[in-house]
Amino acid sequence: MPATSPVLSGFGAALPGALVASAEIDVRLGKPQGWLEAACGVASRHVAGPQETQEGLAAAAAREAMHDAGITLDDIDLLLFGASVGRQPIPATAALIKRELGGARLRFPAYDVNATCLSALVALDLAALQLAAGRARHILVVTSEIASRALPWNDAAETAGLFGDGAAAFVVSAAGAGKPAGARFGGFHMETYAEGYEACTLASGGTAIDFHKNPVAFARNAYFRMDGKALYRITAAALPGFLDRLLEKSGLRRDKIDLVVPHQASPHALAHVIRRGGFAPERIFDRVRTIGNQVAASIPVALCMARSEGLVQPGMRILLIGTSAGVSLAGAILET
């Protein structure tokens, strides 16, 4: 990777205080013990309480990332917020996070990036482009998701049980501007298979359903819906070729990847990455059974966890990879 590649110079994550076990949810649903974990494969997930907010989690992760990078908010030139669902449709959640961080007096821009589960990865790529254009030296990329507030527990508990809440943030710095111990970012590649548009939806809140004309339909569609079989069919067919193109673009072979940090979509999805991706199981970072699918925060939180567990060492090549509603696949390479 070129020495001029941008550097992830600061890492931070924040998880809600409550860790909810599937066994607790079994009781609430009136199911036998072990039912939910058997149905979805997730044993526990972090769930935001009524006093925990999306912007609060985001700000906590951002402060940790800036501290890790050795900079302050005064050094930030741009804030990108990558998430599938923000606090509300208008205005951008990024502005609220900037205020939460105490940056209302500062002039740097802040805006949202939405590529659903791939939002943070896409935001990292956009940050790299901004740095390459010389428009910034330090960019704060933040992601925060509270998926627990739109889950279909009554209709599809096995889908609802997959998800958890969380936040993560990175400081992305121009080459030479960040600390030398960071991770260089590059090799980004993304493809969209739009035939899968209906496979993952949260239909209310946009222009599709008018609340004033049809409040019943609006309420019914205010829950997340997923067609797992359709998603699997598309990603199973696309993943091998996608990986070939991503690695070719990066000038790497599979055996040169030291660690794969995938979107923690589901235990079944991670098994699919191992089976179809051609990577040894021990190289796949897998914590989905204990944290669930944190949507756009999934890959960043997993990367922060891998780093805190000592699995990220100097001289490594790390593949970040995931899928999203739409359906899209995206990946990038980090060099530590």
The pLDDT assigned to 306 comes to 98
Compute the Cα dihedral for 21, 27, 30, 33 and give only its sign.
positive
Here the tokens at position 158 are 């096995």
The 3-class SS string of the chain reads: CCCCCCEEEEEEEECCCEEEEHHHHHHHHCCCCCHHHHHHCCCEEEECCCCCCHHHHHHHHHHHHHHHHCCCHHHCCEEEEECCCCCCCCCCHHHHHHHHCCCCCCCCCEEEECECECHHHHHHHHHHHHHHCCCCCEEEEEEEECHHHHCCCCCCHHHHCCECCEEEEEEEECCCCCCCCCEEEEEEEEEECHHHHHHEECCCCCCCCCCCCCHHHHHHCCCCEECHHHHHHHHHHHHHHHHHHHHHHHCCCHHHCCEEEECCCCHHHHHHHHHHHCCCHHHECCCHHHHCECHHHHHHHHHHHHHHCCCCCCCCEEEEEEEECCCEEEEEEEEC
* pLDDT digits (tens), the chain, 336 positions: 777 899 999 999 999 999 999 999 999 999 999 999 999 999 999 999 999 999 999 999 999 999 999 999 999 999 999 999 999 999 999 999 999 999 999 999 999 999 999 999 999 999 999 999 999 999 999 999 999 999 999 999 999 999 999 999 999 999 988 777 789 999 999 999 999 999 999 999 999 999 999 999 999 999 999 998 999 899 999 999 999 999 999 999 999 999 999 999 999 889 888 888 889 999 999 999 999 999 999 999 999 999 999 999 999 999 999 999 999 999 999 999
Do residues 196 and 323 lie in contact, with contact meaning Cβ atoms separated by under 8 Å? no
The pLDDT assigned to 318 comes to 98
